[in-house]
Each structure stands twice: as C-alpha cells, then as structure tokens.
Structure 1
Amino acid sequence: MLKVLFVCVHNSARSQMAEAFFNQYAINTDSSESAGIEPGTLNPYVVRAMGEKGIDISSNETKGVFNLYKEGRTFSHVITVCNAEAAQRCPIFPGISRIIMWSFPDPSTFSGSDEEIMEQVRVVRDTIEAKVQAFIANPLEENIL
C-alpha cells in the first residue's frame, strides 16, 4: 500500500496538484496527502488549471508538515516537489528515510498576462500529472534517498 506525502514550501500549488492527481489515479487503498513547511494560500491559477482537468481543489486548505508529524502520521513515501532553486528551503518530513525529490517550477513566481501565467501553470500541472502516473505505475523505479 502506498501512502504518500507530497511536500513543498507553502502547500499552495505543486504539492496540492500532486496530491489531487495521486488520489484520482490511486489504486486499491493507496492514498496521499500534501503539506508545506510554511502553509500559505491556495494559488488561484492552480485552482483554475486543476478545474480544467475536472478536479476541484478550491475548498482545499493548506496544511503544515510539522502538524502531520506531531499527529504521528506515517507515510510509505515522502515526495518533495520544490523547484531546484528552492531546494534549500524545501522541507524534509522528519523521521522518514524514503524521500524522493521531484523538481518543478513554482507557479507563484510566474509572471505575464493572465493567459501567459495560465499556460505556464498548465505545463507544470501536466508534468506533475505524468510524473504521478508514472510513480503509481512503478513506485520502485524512483530514486529513494
């Protein structure tokens, strides 16, 4: 059984998308959650982009990773989804030895017109979706630290 925690800095975009895709495609009793080191506000561009895929995350709340740890939650895998530039700040869930690092651009840093930002978010969304599907298909192929 896979029980995955997707972690990023604010739990406002990338980790929310990864959690939603994982839970959509999960088989049997596999499940996921997401959290951040500094919970922020859900990114409205991400909400719109996920809505385009038929997934409503508009009522999701951002969660703190250390709250999950204090609650004694356990996970089979922790996957960080911070971009390479933010890797220094990307949190690591305490007490877990199986950590996978995926790097995606941070939608909160995108600029341009509304449509230009949406296009950039769609690229990240689709990349995360493909990565999650590949992981579910073969979780042993991933590099575990």
Structure 2
Amino acid sequence: MKVLILCTGNSCRSQMAHGFLQSFDKDLIVRSAGTRAAGKLNEGAVRAMAEVGIDISHHTSDPVEKYLGEEWDYVITVCGGANGSCPMFTGKVKHRLHIGFDDPSHATGTPEFIESEFRRVRDEIKEKFYEFYQSL
C-alpha cells in the first residue's frame, strides 16, 4: 500500500503523520510532500515526535512534483491550503482524503505554550491516522 501525505510546507503536520503511519506498519510505503515545500523540517515537530519515540529528523521536505508521476492508493491532505491546491492525480490515485489539523508552527506565546501546541497537534495526528490505519 502506498500513501502520500500532503501539506503546504511539508515541514510539520505531514511529517508527523508520515512518522506515525510508518510506525504503525513498516510495510506501508509512506511519503510526504508539500505544495510549497519549505525544504527543511520544523524543529518543534522533530522534538514533539522524539518525545514519543519516533525519529523524523532524517525526513526531507519534498515538493509534491517529485511524486506526481507515481500511482498512490491514498493521497491524504492534512491542511486546508494543500487540500485546496492539491494537484490533480487523475487516474493515479485510488482514494483522496482530507484529514485537517491546526498548524502548531503558527502558535504564538510562551515557549511552553508553543511546545504544548506541537504536542496537542501531534497527539491529534496520531489518533486520526491510527483510525485511518485501522480502517485499512
């Protein structure tokens, strides 16, 4: 099974979803990409995932164009921007889903509050993507 997870910057939410989904089943082929890839991972996302034992520090922030020619069982958008601008994968995608999350990188306030937002979103991503995985 091949799953592509899309976000706008591919630095935070899609990377966390990628990490969780791959941790649920090592046999899944999971990739993540951005409609406007940032080119680097958000350090808050890397730290939040490390707290739950998942290392995403080796992931890369890739542009969606890298994957347009491939066939996918699922393409899942995790932010409204990517959902609205998701490229057409006509004939190459069996299922297209949107599972949206807040962007913790936009959180403002104390370092403790910002860290708590990364954890909150991380936990929501884990829950929703585990539900998705169980539905397979």
Q: Does TM, normalized by the shorter one, top 0.5?
A: yes
Give RMSD over aligned pairs: 1.7
CA–CA separation in structure 1 for the residues paired with 2:59 and 2:95: 26
CA distance in 1 between counterparts of 2:88 and 2:110 reads: 36
- In the TM superposition, residue 57 of structure 1 has moved relative to its aligned partner by 1.2
Cα distance in 2, alignment partners of residues 106 and 78 from structure 1: 19
Which among 30, 34, 39 is matched to residue 32 of structure 1?
30
Q: Is the 8 A contact 2:35 2:82 kept in 1?
A: no
Question: What is the alpha-carbon distance in structure 1 between the residues aligned to residue 85 and residue 115 of structure 2?
Answer: 24
Q: 1: distance between equivalents of 2:83 and 2:77?
A: 12
Q: Which residue identity does 1:104 align to in structure 2? A: F
Asked if the contact 1:14/1:81 (under 8 Å) is kept, the reply is: yes
Unpaired segments of 5 or more residues in structure 2?
none
| Corresponding pairs, count | 133
TM-score by length of 1: 0.84
The CA deviation at 1:61 is 1.2
Match of 2:4 in 1: 5
Cα shift at 1:74: 1.6
Counterpart in 1 of 2:19? 20
- Taking the TM superposition and a 5 Å limit, the aligned residue runs for 1:17-96 are 17-26=16-25, 29-40=27-38, 41-69=40-68, 72-83=69-80, 86=81, 89-92=84-87, 94-95=89-90, 96=93
Q: Which has the higher strand share?
A: 2
Distance between the aligned counterparts of 1:53 and 1:123, measured in 2?
Answer: 13
Q: Map Cα deviations across residues 103-127 of structure 1 (whole Å, 9 max, x no partner).
A: 1001221111111101011110001
Amino acid at match of 1:36: G
Whether 1:125 and 2:125 are equivalent positions in the alignment is no
Per-residue deviation, 1:90 = 4.5
Q: 1:34: how far off?
A: 0.4
Separation of aligned partners in 2, 1:94 and 1:62? 20
Identity %: 37
Structure 1 ranges of 4+ moved more than 4 A: 87-90
Q: Which runs of 5+ in 1 are unaligned?
A: 140-145
**CA 89–108 in structure 1, closer or farther in 2 if over 3 Å, else same:** farther
What secondary structure sits across from 1:32 in the alignment?
strand
User: Normalising by the residue count of structure 2, what TM-score does the alignment of the two structures yield?
Assistant: 0.89
The Cα of 1:88 is off from its aligned counterpart by 6.4
